Amino acid sequence: MQYLFWLTTLFVLTICIPAQAVEVRPLADCTIKVFRDINRSRAWSGKAPVGCPAGIHVEQRASGIFVTTWNSGNSERGWVRLSFSAALGFSEIADGQSLKKAGHDITTRAARIERCLNSIIRVNDPLECRDHATKSYLVGEETGVEYVRQVWLDDSGRHSVVEYAYGDSSAAVSPPLELFSGAALPPGTKLNIHVLDNQ
């Protein structure tokens, strides 16, 4: 009986766990492009920047703008979704030099988190990062198991979070709702990015 349990567990893990390395930096690049577009137009267009085949969620908060980008895919083995969320203060977005510096910071942090995530996938070692994982069982019309893991740097730096989710159900892949704090800004929303950043 115990042998059957371990055989079943191995089968489920083989089906569910995408073992290939993941790339966070392309999503970070898209996030930076969104901030650049907001800098140029002083508005959120609602459209993905050129070269960014990703879902995009833009929120305005008291401290600045939060952008979440993600991509996902389905296969015979289930689905997988990779998301990246980063924040900039209003003054960082408004000033070209500050925006460039913040973009470099986002790129660097994304690369570090990418290393952590790939280490977690390979050997379950988060390296310099912190992580939180949940496992959910779906019942009803859709059945299966869903895994969601969030990874971030263990420091007091800029908000930069990666979420890696996958499952073995045939359900449509949903956006990374756990990374959203509020409603997305409607397309065409004008933004007062010259508000003083108190942070």
Distance between CA atoms of 16 and 3, rounded to whole angstroms? 20
Burial grade of 5 (CB within 10 A; 0-12, 13-18, 19 or more): exposed
pLDDT range class, residue 19, cuts 50, 70, 90: low
Of 186 and 117, more confident: 117
**Residue 89 near residue 197 (C-beta atoms within 8 A):** yes
Distance between CA atoms of 196 and 14, rounded to whole angstroms? 51
Give the torsion sign (CA, 151, 107, 70, 87): positive
Of 35 and 16, more confident: 35
Average pLDDT over residues 125-144: 87
Distances (CA, A) of 194 to 38, 68, 77, 80, 87: 12, 22, 48, 38, 16
Average pLDDT over residues 36-52: 93
Judged against a pLDDT cut of 80, whether residue 198 lies above it is answered with no
Between 83-87, 108-112, 114-118, 154-158, the lowest mean confidence (pLDDT) is in: 154-158
Judged against a pLDDT cut of 50, whether residue 145 lies above it is answered with yes
Q: In this predicted structure, what is the pLDDT of residue 20?
A: 75
Answering whether pTM is above 0.95, one says no
Judged against a pLDDT cut of 70, whether residue 2 lies above it is answered with no
